[in-house]
Homo-oligomer: A and B are copies of this chain.
Amino acid sequence: MGMPIELKEYGYGKSGIRLVKVTREGQRHHLRDVKVEIQMFGDFEAAYLHGDNRAILPTDTMKNTVYALARQYRFGAIEEFGLRLANHFLGRFPHVKRVVASISEKQWQRISCGAQPHGHAFQGATPERRLALIDKSRSATSIEAGIAGLAVLKTSRSAFNNFLRDEYTTLRETQDRILSTQITAQWSYSGGRPGFNHVWNGVRTALLETFATHDSQSVQHTLCAMGDAVLRSFDCISEIRFSMPNQHCLLVDLSPFHLDNPGEVFLPVDEPSGLIEATVRRPDDAVA
């Protein structure tokens, strides 16, 4: 190449590594169902610039490593498995400067037979996925946990009023609308290793209960209330980021048919949606 070029923020890895892990305690089996992504950053310039692959561990090897480590070690919380993967690659390859391991977990529940949860038969549970994101370099480790696609809807105590208007504003004020969203939230652990499962379940409960009971003036307002509830409940969480679409349920106009519609018949629409995002954090952590 005549003209020199430079690389910035370059890395590679494997995405979509699907893994089901079964642990057997006699007749009682435990099921885990995850999707893993590994990204590596480091001294790979020669591969990009010159086609010299000597520093490139194949992404196929990353996949194999996920399966081999899943076999050799107890599969704990996905945060722990992500840490194991990051540590493995950093420990093995000095030219790798940083590893990002992202894991998302599907929820299963035991089938009930009579009133008893079955030992080895499962059904799909609620649709949200649990997330873990480990970002580890030679000098720092970031552990994030999260939840994606937590679908919630409330039919009362959601208003939207006194907003800014201009000549393109046609929306009416409302004291009582349907509020429907799919919560995606990711939070950072500020140090130490909490009980990951305990905290995750607690955050999920705090999100659901706050959504249910909050007197909402907007999605922004509810987002903040949820963040506040999480930070109050868990000292180990320093900040939490939300992405929440406002999935509109439009009240259908039945007046052409001489019918009223007192909050009964709605048309839910996928597009367009509002999109509300923010990070909520403790003031003490305000360093960046």
Residues in A lying within 8 Å of B, measured CB to CB: 1, 3-24, 27, 29, 31, 33, 35, 37, 39, 44, 47-61, 63-65, 67-68, 70-72, 92-93, 108, 111-113, 118, 120-128, 150-157, 160-171, 178, 208-209, 211-213, 215-221, 223-224, 227-228, 231-232, 239, 241, 245-246, 249, 252, 254, 256-257, 259, 261, 263-283, 286, 288
Contacts and interface: CB of A to CB of B under 8 A. Distances in A.
Contacts of A165: 61
Nearest to A53: B163
A22 B152 contact: no
A286 B278 CA distance: 31
21 contacts: A1-B228, A5-B281, A6-B281, A6-B282, A7-B279, A7-B281, A12-B276, A21-B264, A22-B155, A22-B178, A50-B221, A54-B162, A58-B163, A60-B169, A60-B171, A61-B165, A61-B169, A67-B267, A121-B211, A122-B155, A124-B150
B48 A221 contact: yes
A234 to B, nearest CB: 12
Contacts of A154: 120-122
A150 to B, nearest CB: 7
Nearest to A281: B6
A125 B220 CA distance: 25
Contacts of A125: 126
Nearest to A204: B123
B152 A111 contact: yes
Nearest to A3: B232
Contacts of A157: 120
A245 B5 CA distance: 22
A71 B15 CA distance: 30
Contacts of A65: 168
A45 to B, nearest CB: 9
Given A15-B245, A48-B224, 10 more contacts: A5-B281, A10-B279, A20-B249, A22-B263, A50-B221, A52-B217, A57-B164, A58-B169, A270-B270, A270-B271
A273 B16 contact: yes
A153 to B, nearest CB: 5
Among the interface residues A22, A112, A246, which one has the most CB atoms of the partner chain B within 10 A?
A22
A272 B167 contact: no
A280 B16 contact: no
Given A22-B178, A282-B6, A150 B123 contact: yes
Contacts of A272: 14-18, 59, 63
Contact of A11 (B1, B31, B53, B277): B277
